Amino acid sequence: MVDKNKMKVIDKVAHKLGKEDANSLYVSPMPSIADTPPAEQADLVSKKLRQCCVVFDFMDAVSDLKGKEIKRASLNELVDYITTGRGVLSEDLYPEIVQMVACNIFRTLPPSDNPEFDPEEDDPTLEASWPHIQIAYEFFLRFLEVPDFKPSVAKRYIDQKFVLQLLDLFDSEDPRERDFLKTVLHRIYGKFLGLRAFIRKQINHIFLRFIYETEHFNGIGELLEILGSIINGFALPLKAEHKQFLIKVLIPLHKAKGLGLYHAQLAYCVVQFLEKDATLTEPVVKGLLKYWPKTCSQKEVMFLGEIEEILDVIEPSQFQKIQDPLARQLARCVASPHFQVAERALYFWNNEYILSLMEENITVIMSIMFPSLYRISKEHWNQTIIALVYNVLKTFMELNNKLFDELTANYKSERQKEKKKEKERDELWKKLGKLEKNHLNSSQQPKVADGTPTK
């Protein structure tokens, strides 16, 4: 074990010294673990864990280079030691390991160097202390994966407070750190059953703050990726709280400005829910239609991609419940002046399963879609879109030729009525124009006073 009296003396001396001198006092070379007799290794590991609690200032690239290198070497040694296999973990080491990891990774994240930071456009600010933090994360992961790891012991130290601090770090701009955090949190969720509900609840809170307050949190994609695995493991039937999370949290996440940063992970979570419980299809699709983008064509393309993923796993009985509002939205997308939106919507007809769903409900789908498709075939500016529309119209004609002819005749009849109304409206405007002109002319005539004619 660590010589506690000696460490107390060092603490007192360090308190009187400057930070850099204190770090040097703590971080002095120690024997290699591999070269130490097995009976003495546990004590040396404990000392190295204590030594690695010292945090260096990496903003000053040239300060205390020797101490930084000694700590880096010690961290790597600890990683090698804990990876060797069974029997390396005594219960006494658990609190020291968690303390060392906490000292290295838990910190207040600095404000962004760029207040207008856009993750889609700007390069992230990388963590200066990464040379040490990375190894601390690596060590912690190996610790959680040790074959004789005991959650019953570790739960005394890896508790709710620890998890909260871990979740705060997901806002780090450094994607390397968020990637480690994702794996660490997933391991903790898997090993600590008592923390599962708490982790889900806190992720829920992060999402709600992001949606309704801040609209900024760097780790949304990583948290959704963890949730994808969690949802996949949900038992059936789904609990009411899980269904509520889908409708009240995941669906509103679609309305955020930065959707493109995490949409793939979000869509995966939504589809996972629908594969678990098909009855959720109707509220999910109607929720997406509610938040459908009005002015952002890039987001519209994402929504269309997600709708296609949903339709790929949908049951025919559920499709009938959403076919009407969905077909109306598709008709609007097909008619979009933005060719990428129109093109993405028209690609639905290249999906054989979606075609089979439409075929069973062709009367409803064709009746809604036909007017937009026929008009676009005559008016759209983009030749690629016109070619795709012709293919869709041809498919409709093959599926139900009689209905196609009826809709064509109805469309032409309606167009004739519209043209007649337009003509009547134009004529009315002309008459009104003449009346106004006559009125102006009459008002400009000289007035006659007392019935005496003007000369």
> Exposure pattern of 242-262 as b/e (b: 16+ CB <10 Å)?
bbebbeebbbbbbebebbebb
Name the token pair of 440: 């102006």
Confidence band (pLDDT; 50, 70, 90) for 1? very low
Report pLDDT for 85: 64
Quick one: how far is CA 318 from the chain centroid?
26
What's the pTM?
A: 0.83
- Cβ(224)–Cβ(182) under 8 Å? no
Whether residue 48 contacts residue 37, with contact meaning beta carbons closer than 8 Å, is answered with: no
* Percent over 70 (pLDDT), the chain: 87
Q: Which two tokens stand for residue 225?
A: 């990726």
Mean pLDDT of 348-373: 93
The residue behind tokens 């930065």 is: 258
Q: Is pLDDT above 80 for 127?
A: yes
- The phi, psi pair for 29, rounded to 5°, reads -60, 140
Q: How far is CA 157 from the centre of its chain?
A: 31
Q: What is the pLDDT of residue 8?
A: 47
- What pLDDT band is residue 162 in, cutting at 50, 70 and 90? very high
Q: What is the pLDDT of residue 215?
A: 85
Average pLDDT estimate for 111-134 = 80
Structure confidence at residue 64 as a pLDDT band (50, 70, 90): confident
Query: What pLDDT does 450 receive?
Result: 55
- How many of the other CB atoms lie within 10 Å of CB of 342? 25
Rounded to 10 deg, the angle between the 297-313 and 352-360 helix axes is 70
Q: Is the pLDDT of residue 269 over 50?
A: yes
User: Whose CA is closest to 75, among 99, 52, 42?
Assistant: 52
CA atoms within 13 A on the CB side of 369: 28
Q: What region does 215 belong to: left with phi over 0, alpha with psi -120 to 50, or beta?
A: left
Q: Is 25:10 a contact under the CB 8 Å cutoff?
A: yes
Angle of CA points 180, 251, 242, to nearest 5°: 75
CB within 8 Å of 187: residues ≥ 6 apart: 141, 144, 145
Give the integer Cα–Cα distance in Å for 382 and 339: 7
Half-sphere exposure of residue 436: CA atoms within 13 angstroms, side-chain side: 6
List the single range of 91-100, 198-207, 317-326, 403-412 with lowest mean pLDDT. 403-412
Q: What is the mean pLDDT of residues 180-186?
A: 98
CB 367 within 8 A of CB 361: no
Over range 221-236, report the average pLDDT: 96
User: Does the pLDDT at position 22 exceed 70?
Assistant: no
pLDDT > 80? residue 105: yes
pLDDT at 195 over 80: yes
For residue 278, name the pLDDT band (cuts at 50, 70, 90): very high
Task: Name the residue ranges covered by the structural domains of the chain.
Answer: 27-108+129-158, 278-418
Does the pLDDT at position 10 exceed 50? no
Q: What is the mean pLDDT of the chain?
A: 87
Alpha helices per DSSP H over 192-294: 196-209, 220-232, 240-245, 263-276, 281-290
**CB-based contacts of 359, cutoff 8 Å, min separation 6:** 399
The model's confidence at residue 18, banded by pLDDT at 50, 70 and 90, is very low
In the predicted structure, residue 233 carries a pLDDT above the cut 50: yes
- Note the pLDDT of residue 420: 65
Model confidence over 296-331: pLDDT tens digits? 999 999 999 999 999 999 999 999 999 999 999 999
Q: Pick from 5, 2, 163, 195: which is nearest to 92 by CA?
A: 2
pLDDT value of position 447: 59
d(CA 384, CA 190): 50
Q: Which long-range contacts (CB under 8 A, 24 or more apart) does 285-293 make?
A: 285/310, 285/322, 285/325, 285/326, 286/322, 286/325, 287/247, 287/251, 287/252, 287/254, 288/251, 288/254, 289/325, 289/326, 289/329, 291/251, 291/252, 291/254, 291/255, 292/329
Q: Is the pLDDT of residue 263 over 80?
A: yes
The better pLDDT of the pair 14, 180 is held by 180
pLDDT band (50, 70, 90) for residue 455: very low
- Confidence class for position 449, pLDDT limits 50, 70, 90: low
